[in-house]
Amino acid sequence: MTDSDTRQKVLHEVAQLPSDQLMLVANFLEFLHFQRSGIPTTQTAPSIDDQPTLTGSTVADLLPFAGTWQGDDFEECLQSVYDSRSPAEF
């Protein structure tokens, strides 16, 4: 399959998506663009003084927070996640 064929197939499939799934595709494309821009995806934990500012809810906005935790309530929060999650449906 050529690049042109692949682009046409992607456009065709995207055109048929409902709006909630279209937003997922848009976020994924933004993530791919962010990844391709050369910014490393593994970052050291930011200090308190240079905390990244959360400006939205896209992957690109959340990546700077990956692998960081501040506070002493990690175990409590993790237990809350375990207590409130529901079984996945595939």
Split into its structural domains, the chain has a count of 1
Cβ atoms of 34 and 60 within 8 Å: the answer is yes
pTM above 0.85, yes or no: no
Tokens of 71: 């506070």
Tokens of 73: 């309530």
In a domain, 15, yes or no: yes
Residue 16: which domain range? 3-84
Of residues 46 and 32, more confidence is placed in: 32
In a domain, 90, yes or no: no
Which residues, 6 or more positions from 62, have their beta carbon under 8 angstroms from its beta carbon?
Answer: 54
In a domain, 44, yes or no: yes
pLDDT, tens digit, for every residue of 60-82? 777 777 777 677 788 888 888 88
